[in-house]
Chains A and B, each alone.
Chain A
Amino acid sequence: MAVSEVVSQRAFARTPPRSATTRLLEDERWLAVVLLLPTVILLGLFIAYPFVDGVLLSVTDARVGVPGSFVGLQNFESLWHDTIFRTAVWNTFVYTAVATVFKLALGLWLALLLNRHFKGKAFARAFILLPFIIPTVLSTFAWKWMFDPTFSVINWTLFQLGLIHTRINWLGDPNLALISVIIVNVWRGVPFYAISLLAGLQTINPELQEAAAIDGARPWQRFWHVTWPLLLPVTMVVVLFSVVPTFADFQLVYVLTGGGPANATQLFATYAYQIGVGTGLLGEGAAVSLAMFPFLLIVVIVQLLYIRRVEVH
């Protein structure tokens, strides 16, 4: 195995006297091996192996406690005809796309606001992170209470402002339910976007802005032609790392709606859980989880290529 090879190489690297070690580490390739070793071991052990296990599971008809036999791609084939699965795929794409666009737009706006000097800046920057810090399960309980058809403080406020006359059934209406879930996801994600983009903004030399201002550029033009291109690399990494957990989101929906009403908020991960854990069909559940993979891969490859292109220029 590759891992054991690497281990023995490392042992070899250590045995000679100190100067030899140092000399060895001067070689870029050896240094790379040493530096990558901890990561490769950890990921190999705790991801690669279970992942292969999961893949093997997905081509069997295994149930909880029953190893099952090889069935080829039958699980995937039956998913193809599964209406709930199709709903889940569609929902997941809508959920990820809409939530990401809003997180990015609002996060960027907030970052631009926070990039100014004002009283209480430090306080505002830290406390704006709260939605991101709080354990998701617990904040989702709070949202659940705020969306509750009988107790909704949001409805009360809108009613008092004269904007509505009857209650809004946030989590009960099939279209609104997905929107409500997206609202909570955006709420949780905006702080992360804002702070990361803020860090990116601060690396941009203010002189560039000033030069553009002297040339007579309007604020909007300055943002579009100066700030945004410089911010793009950071933005792409942030988006990349937020799209993946959004796509695979589980907790939020699990607590808020359980995928209901009538699967209006069913996502990949919740459906995989329902089948794998709820019904004990581990093979099929693994297939649902795994079906997520190619979709994610496409999304990610597009982004990676884009990042490369941005980096080259």
Chain B
Amino acid sequence: MPRMNRRKLLKLSGAGALAARTGGIAAILASGKAPAYAQGTTVHWLRWNDFVPSSDVLLRSQIIPACAKDLGITLNIEMINGNDIQARTTAAIQSGTGPDVICALNNWPQLYADSVADVSEVAEKIGKDQGGFYAESTAVANNGKKWLGVPWCIVGAENAYRKSWFEAVGLSKFPETWDEYRAAGKKLKAKGQPIGQALGHSFGDPPTFWYPFLWSFGGMEVDKNGKKAALDSKATVESVKFAVAFWKDCCDEGGLAWDDSSNNRAFLSNTISSTLNGASIYLLAKREPDKYQTEKGTPLWQDILHAPLPKGPAGQFSYQLPMTNMLMGYSKQQDAAKKFLAWITSKPVYQAWFDSQGGYTVGATTIWEQDPLWNKDPVMQPFRLVGRGAQFPGYPGPADRRAAEVLSKYVIIDMYAKAVQGMPAEDAVKWATGEVEKIYA
């Protein structure tokens, strides 16, 4: 794989030369020697450290040299734990110094809207070239007036489940509705193979499961205009009641203490039958088949399949984790950083990174659905279209700061957690409604 990437990267300057005729940023991109920059122009890019180690290797060993060659920019990539990016970003903005480009998770661009540079020019060009951005990427990176960042990717979340265990309870395919899922989960839990779902305070798994769960029952935190809190509804109460039963009947009750890594470990150690997660479980099991085996001693990855979350009375929903590169307003390298963003998100360069991800993330633009990567492994197929129809917290209202506050206070998650811990559904909804109303007031 790395070899292939290198070959692709070598073609880059060629591809750029073609684009040069179209003018604009591409023209500067293509000029190879990057005349506009004094030597030593450095762009500092802060991002999370990837689950896929080969992607980090690619960034360090190939993208950095290619960036120097194509743009004359020294790229300084800093990778930290995803949990800690916000602390860095906040301090950087408040002190007016720090990384030039920060790769944001979720709708952080909306949170920092006043502190990021307008990158509409770059984003619109990328969107136009690559078949348009997904609605969710647009929702988090565009505030209706301008682009607050260039959408980078979407980390897909699908149910990873055990083929043989589901077959053993008479299911040849993954349940399509919550009722079916609950029926299957009940049988599985009785056999000591529960469904695993995190219901604690961590930024990945709990929200990506419980928000779509709420939506699929027709619950929502705010109305369509984002004006009035709308959590208090019969649909919400129904969803909470269902959640309590689902939790008791089907789930590993340790999930209340889980963080984003717990379900990976539980699945890899053959204790849970299904869990909503990124492709990391499957990809890790496949990368190291000797280490991760089924209870029968066969490689675990051969028994894993993926499927989307089931449908509810109000339809089928998903919330995928979007990532966006923000060009920070305080950066002294505005031009260079813009050129860098245009370059790294351009198809040929992004292609190398996309390939290295092996499907763990999908592109933020629709063009990547057509990539031959998806033909390589049928198990990864369900991830191909995750970008379509994905919603962000705040749905059906805007993905704005208030939605982020509800999210980061874990109001929706805790509503379910409280009910699961024994609070009557109506009271849990009442509590959460109070919190949501305060935020949207």
Contact = CB atoms under 8 A, between A and B. Distances in A.
Q: Find out whether A and B make contact in their complex, taking CB atoms under 8 A apart as touching.
A: yes
B254 interface: yes
Contacts of A172: 200, 253-258
A310 to B, nearest CB: 41
B350 interface: no
Interface string B416-435: 01100100000000010011
Interface string A255-273: 0011111110000000001
Given A147-B257, A149-B257, A150-B266, A261 B200 contact: yes
A279 B408 contact: yes
Interface in B250-274: 252-259, 262, 265-266, 269, 271
Interface of A (DSSP majority class):
loop
B414 A263 contact: yes
Given A279-B408, A280-B111, A171 B257 contact: yes
Contacts of B431: 83
Given A84-B435, A174-B421, A278-B86, A258 B201 contact: yes
Contacts of B41: none
Interface string A63-93: 1111000000000001001111000000000
A260 B410 contact: yes
Given A169-B253, A260-B200, A260-B410, A277 B111 contact: no
A173 B265 contact: no
Interface stretch (B64-72, B87-95, B306-314, B357-365): B87-95
Interface residues of B, number: 43
B252 to A, nearest CB: 7
Contacts of A169: 253-254, 256-257
A89 to B, nearest CB: 16
A126 to B, nearest CB: 32
Contacts of A260: 200-202, 256-257, 410, 413-414, 417
A277 B90 contact: yes
B224 interface: no
Interface string A146-179: 0111110000000000000001011111100100
Contacts of B257: 147-149, 169-172, 177, 257, 260-261
Interface residues of A, number: 39
A227 interface: no
Interface in A260-313: 260-263, 273-282
B114 interface: yes
Contacts of A276: 90
B271 A258 contact: no
Interface string B70-94: 0000000000000000110110011
Contacts of A78: 438
Interface in B229-283: 252-259, 262, 265-266, 269, 271
Contacts of A147: 257
Interface in A27-82: 63-66, 78, 81-82
A207 B109 CA distance: 70
A274 B87 CA distance: 10
A84 B266 CA distance: 30
Nearest to B85: A277
A274 B262 contact: no
A279 B87 CA distance: 11
Interface of B: 86-87, 89-90, 93-94, 111-112, 114-115, 199-202, 252-259, 262, 265-266, 269, 271, 329, 401, 404-405, 408-410, 413-414, 417-418, 421, 431, 434-435, 438
Given A174-B421, A261-B199, 12 more contacts: A64-B93, A64-B111, A65-B114, A150-B265, A151-B265, A172-B200, A172-B253, A172-B255, A261-B201, A262-B418, A279-B401, A279-B405
6 contacts: A64-B112, A148-B265, A149-B253, A151-B269, A172-B256, A274-B408
